[in-house]
């Protein structure tokens, strides 16, 4: 016998019942230790009870988002799941930049900070797998292209590489009226509120669609916990260090130097053709932030013999933290690393 269909009134009643215990589920709950702190960033270490794989995994999240999107909560955490499989995981927490960080450059963040994280994660085994998510993937890719030592493999998860195919973001950033220097001179660090507004304009009806989804399914505690955790993360953004942002827009979005082979990191060429380690690029068909044509050109550009592209359904965030991700994406990642341990 089919259960009775739920109505919006059932969802409203469920929200009312939930109100006393709050609407912000705890995030970032997987046990970890802090193994390095420098300026505002920290390196977190997640150790399994029984270590099954020798090579650790270093996760590089987006510079303008909080790291805990990879650890949203029990049953919704990629990190928790990987640790349960026997992987040791390191993850960068970028922290919150202060006004004094407006002069941080791509060299500082991708070269020095990511480089330090790679060396610490690889300290015991000699190398580490590197996963970069979104802008974190671009940071990681430029590092691996310039400094390949110590990197066992590179996974780019919804990460922009070919900025000529970045969709609406490319169009906006390449217009003459987008005055990057004036923004940085006015604010120092680019305010997260400004960037959040830009992302909202990519899909103006998304907020209404989310409201409808909640009214349809608020009676489903598992759905609501996941939705609220994702929304908490989505509104907990980080400002972009000014000088690094200038390079990001000018050298990557406008001049597309990573694909052109003219990007440099700490004075060294950061050419994709210099990457020879195993590479996996993952893109999502419904991603409006990093479209598939923006992410997949990594594969033909690298010199690796062991390389592959994986295109799945889903959006930029949902495809990484959803129930379907736990069934498809997460096992695919674990298998990739296990086969190259």
Catalytic residues: 134, 287, 316
Element of type H or E holding 294:
helix 292-295
Residue whose entry in the numeric block shows the structure tokens 């990191």:
265
Which of helix, strand or coil describes residue 317? coil
- Give the Å distances, CA to CA, from 71 to 46, 65, 91, 152, 325: 11, 13, 10, 23, 13
CB 326 within 8 A of CB 316: no
Between the CA of residue 233 and those of 25, 57, 131, what are the distances in Å? Answer: 11, 22, 19
Residues 46/30, Cβ–Cβ less than 8 Å = yes
Residue 6 CA to chain centroid, in angstroms?
A: 35
Place of tokens 């993360």: 233
What's the order of all strands across the beta sheet hosting 307-312? 33-38, 41-46, 89-93, 57-60, 128-133, 151-157, 279-284, 307-312
- Residue 321: phi and psi, rounded to 5, are -120, 5
- Find all residues with CB under 8 Å of 292, minimum gap 6, and list them: 283, 284, 285, 311
């Amino acid at each position: 016998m089919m259960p009775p269909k739920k109505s919006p009134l059932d969802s409203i009643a469920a929200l009312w019942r939930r109100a006393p215990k709050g609407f912000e589920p705890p995030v970032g709950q997987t046990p970890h230790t802090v193994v390095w702190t420098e300026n505002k960033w920290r390196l977190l270490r997640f150790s399994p009870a029984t270590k099954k794989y020798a090579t650790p995994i270093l996760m590089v999240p987006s510079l303008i988002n909080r790291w805990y999107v990879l650890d949203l909560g029990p049953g919704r955490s990629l990190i928790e799941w990987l640790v349960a499989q026997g992987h040791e995981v390191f993850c960068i927490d970028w922290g919150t930049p202060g006004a004094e960080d407006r002069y941080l450059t791509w060299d500082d963040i991708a070269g020095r900070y990511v480089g330090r994280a790679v060396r610490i994660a690889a300290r015991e085994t000699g190398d580490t797998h590197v996963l970069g998510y979104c802008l974190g993937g671009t940071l990681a890719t430029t590092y691996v292209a310039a400094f390949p030592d110590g990197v066992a493999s590179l996974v780019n998860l919804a990460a922009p590489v070919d900025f000529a195919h970045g969709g609406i973001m490319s169009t906006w950033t390449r217009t003459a009226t987008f005055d990057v220097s004036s923004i940085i001179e006015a604010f120092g660090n680019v305010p997260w509120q400004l960037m959040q507004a830009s992302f909202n304009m990519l899909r103006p009806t998304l907020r209404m669609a989310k409201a409808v989804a909640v009214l349809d399914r608020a009676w489903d505690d598992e759905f609501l916990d996941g939705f609220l955790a994702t929304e908490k993360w989505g509104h907990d953004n980080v400002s972009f260090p000014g000088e690094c942002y200038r390079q990001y827009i000018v050298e990557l979005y406008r001049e597309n130097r990573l694909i052109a082979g003219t990007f440099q990191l700490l004075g060294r060429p950061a050419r994709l053709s210099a990457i020879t380690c195993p590479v996996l690029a993952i893109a999502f068909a419904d991603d409006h932030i990093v479209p598939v044509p923006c992410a997949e050109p990594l594969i033909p550009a690298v010199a690796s013999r062991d390389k592959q592209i994986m295109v799945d359904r889903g959006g930029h965030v949902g495809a990484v933290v959803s129930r379907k991700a736990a069934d498809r994406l997460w096992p695919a990642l674990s298998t990739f690393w296990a086969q190259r341990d």
